Structure 1
Amino acid sequence: MRELLERWDATHRSTHMHGWDFSALEGRMTSEEPDWDFEAECRDALGALADAGGGTVLDMGTGGGERLAALLDSLDAGRRDRLDVVATEGWERNVPAARERLEPLGVRVEEHDPGRGDPLPLPDGGARLVMNRHEALDARDLARVLAPGGLLVCQQVDGTEVPEVHDWFGTRPAYPDVRLAVVAAALRGAGLDVEETEQWSGPMDFADVDALVAYWALVPWDVPEDFTVPGYAAVLERIHRESGGGPVRLTARRFRLRARRPL
């Protein structure tokens, strides 16, 4: 067991996020996807806005900009030029990566952390489309920046996901209010019309505990703030023992919604 702990510790210390890149887990993590296609929904919304004459688009929580760059690349140059695109990112280490990738595409990247109460970097009614994939949101501030008729397309990680982790560490969900009913009610309370909602749960499978600690190095908010392999050796030993040294399964939960500011 000592050799395993040393290996897990080395993995955790050497795995780092750059942008929003999970390639370190290629072949060691598999995850089912929700029943919907959020990327297609965003592509369609961008295309529809461009075809309607264009306007300002806000991409909240852009990560390293990988996803937004791919979405913009799906549009021909003429349609893309009708869009004024602003991206925000709250994780400090991702902001330089996002700027490097997106600014050559004409995208303005702003550091913005909803958890600090930062207002969105747009004027009142400044956005015709807001895309939010897994970023915290303030319903009233979001409603403020949407233009009349403006659309929000949103996919969130349910705050109650990975219940197995809370069982192992004896913790409570860090974001218990990030649930479909709560977020939808907040958007309605801010004056938006919620047009569509869906929710989903499915498995995330890791090859072994080594892959799991690599994942936690990439998404450290999923475990206690003081997490280290030596500090939580007993927990990791329990997971290894219960899995028989093989695959470990977590439960992922997602929800999506579309909301619009009335005309």
Structure 2
Amino acid sequence: MAGSSAPLTHSASDARFETLVAEADAVSVDGWDFSWLDGRATEQRPSWGYARAMADRLARAGAALDIQTGGGEVLASAPVLPPLTVATESWPPNAARASALLRPRGAVVVADSDEPPLPFADHAFDLVVSRHPVTTWWDEIARVLAPGGTYFSQQVGRESVFELVEYFLGPLSAEQRGSRDPRRAREDAEAAGLEVTDLRAERLRMEFLDIGSVVYFLRKVIWMVPGFTVGAYLPQLRSLHRRIEEEGPFVAHSARFLIEARKPGQPPTALL
């Protein structure tokens, strides 16, 4: 009896693989909203609560800039925005999405290449924020901050989700493993003339509950496995699907760090 059920189980697993992958490969990955993964993947959240802490700082700012806003979802979550609020985004679909979301709130979205220089005057903002920037251009942040201004950012840390990345790419180099080190972020911030007032790092458990969640994640977070497509990695996806079905969720660990840095000097009277 057990022998006769094995082919059916295998066939059902293959059919489930095709369905999950097709669905995840077809859904839009615009913006920076991961709600499609609800019930399909889990990730612990950092203890510091970035969105809440960002909103508190925005409520007290006069002019704020959000760098690499994505679809604007995180910035839009703040109950109060400063009188002058600007966001930058390089990817046109995200820029359009962010503009539609933020314009009714009085915020302006600027299309930007994510390469220096930032398209703003010196000392233009008393608060600069950024969640998960691809690159942090510290000299530019220091330039656009007003004296006494603050940079507040949650960033991806060392070896984030490398369990999944190495499943597809194989062992990574020591240089790749050492990138995005929060200690280096401190050094770079200080080299740009900023004073680091807070620096915290955490590793957080992630679980991918089905192969569809893996496909969606790698399509959306494009720097994890550069050039990822279902077709290019079909054998690895099939193997991982079987592993999840037999052993349970695929476990990885994201790395996050929080950094806050202040530009020396006294803010203009209008910002006090």
**Cα distance between partner residues in 2 of 1:188 and 1:175:** 23
- Give the whole-Å Cα distance in 2 for the aligned partners of 1:29 and 1:57: 33
Higher-Rg member (1/2): 2
Equivalent residue, structure 2, for 1:70: 77
Is the contact made by 2:17 and 2:211 (CA closer than 8 Å) also made in structure 1? Answer: no
User: After the TM superposition, which of the residue ranges 230-239 and 181-190 deviates more from structure 2?
Assistant: 230-239
Q: Is the 8 A contact 1:9 1:230 kept in 2?
A: no
Q: Post-superposition shift, 1:165?
A: 2.3
Quick one: which amino acid aligns to residue 234 of structure 1? Answer: P
| Correspondence list, 1:114-193, <5 A | 114=114, 117-135=115-133, 136-168=135-167, 169-170=169-170, 172=172, 176-193=178-195
Alignment of 1:209-248 (within 5 A): 209-225=211-227, 227-243=228-244, 244=246, 246-248=248-250
- 3-state DSSP class of the match of 1:213? helix
CA drift of 1:214 comes to 2.1
Q: CA RMSD in A?
A: 2.1
Q: Are 2:85 and 2:108, in contact at CA under 8 Å, matched by a contact in 1?
A: yes
Q: CA deviation at 1:238?
A: 3.0
TM-score (norm 2): 0.83
Aligned residue number for residue 36 of structure 1: 48
Conserved in 2, the CA contact under 8 Å of 1:11 and 1:213?
A: no
Give 3-state SS (helix, strand or coil) of 2:66's partner.
strand
Q: Are the counterparts in 1 of residues 25 and 215 from structure 2 also a CA contact under 8 Å?
A: no
Deviation at 1:178, TM superposition (A): 1.9
1:219 and 1:167 map into 2 onto residues whose CA distance is: 15
SS of match in other structure, 2:130:
strand
Tell me, in whole angstroms, the C-alpha distance in 2 between the residues paired with 1:84 and 1:209.
43
Spell out the pairing of 1:44-63 with structure 2 (5 A cutoff): 44-49=56-61, 54=62, 56-63=63-70
Give the Å deviation of 1:233: 2.4
Q: 1:98 corresponds to which residue?
A: 98
Quickly say closer, same or farther: Cα 1:152–1:44, change in 2 above 3 A: same
Counterparts of 2:92 and 2:146, CA distance in 1: 28
CA distance in 2, matches of 1:84, 1:175: 39
- Which one-letter code corresponds to 2:194 in the other structure? L
TM-score computed with the length of structure 1 as normaliser: 0.86
Q: Which runs of 4+ in 1 moved over 4 A?
A: 173-176
**3-state SS of paired residue (2:198):** strand
Instruction: Mark the runs of 5 or more structure 2 residues left unpaired by the alignment.
Output: 1-12, 266-272
- Give distance in 2, aligned partners of 1:46 and 1:231: 43
For residues 99 and 153 of structure 1, the distance between their equivalents in structure 2, rounded to whole angstroms, comes to: 22
Aligned residues: 248
Query: Which amino acid counterpart does residue 108 of structure 1 have in structure 2?
Result: V
Q: Deviations over 1:128-179 (max 9, x none)?
A: 0001111121011111111110001110011521111232122638695322
What is the aligned partner in structure 1 of residue 8 from structure 2?
A: none
